[in-house]
Amino acid sequence: MAGHGLGEKASETLLARKEALALAVTGALYAERPELLDRFGESGRQKCLQDMRYNIEHLAPAVALGEPAMFTRYVVWLRDLLEARGVPSGEVVRSLELLSRALDDDLHPDEASTVRKVIDAGLAAVAGAPE
């Protein structure tokens, strides 16, 4: 498969840049929704940051293997888990959108494009599903 090497490289970069990406996404979420800090405090922000790290840790192997379905299964599981805890699926969608946007600052354009295809598959799975 021609894109396999690129997927592996993109996956390595994702993991190497995991902390910066998680911080960027968490910062963007809290900038958009300052009420989150009021509602959940600093411990909530730290939990959000940890969740962003988990998202990247699940994204990386799917990118390396060129298997978007691996990430899609995780994202659907995450959506269902959060909905059971009263968190709307839109929260998952928004965090993935912001992660996709943050890639441009941390990854080479070819790598970002490779990763974005996997994120887009996850987005399609959670955004397209009935509530």
The span from the CA of 110 to the CA of 39, in Å, is 38
pLDDT classification of 4: cutoffs 50, 70, 90: low
The CATH number assigned to the domain with range 4-127 reads 1.10.490.20
Q: DSSP class of residue 124?
A: H
Q: DSSP character for 107?
A: S
Distance (Å) of CA 104 to CA 7, 35, 109: 16, 27, 7
Q: Quick: pLDDT tens for 71-89.
A: 999 999 999 998 998 888 8
Mean pLDDT over 95-108 rounds to 93
Angstrom distance (rounded) from CA 22 to CA 84: 24
Check whether 11 has a pLDDT greater than 50.
Answer: yes
**pLDDT for the residue numbered 37:** 86
Contacts of 21 (CB under 8 A, 6+ apart): 14, 52, 56, 99, 102, 103, 106
- Residue 27 tokens read as 């910062």
Cβ pair 126, 89 in contact under 8 A:
yes
Q: What is the pLDDT of residue 31?
A: 94
Tens-digit pLDDT profile for residues 38-60: 888 899 899 999 999 999 999 99
Name the residue with higher pLDDT: 61 or 127: 61
- Map tokens 């902390």 to a residue: 19
Q: Do 36 and 29 contact (CB within 8 A), yes or no?
A: yes
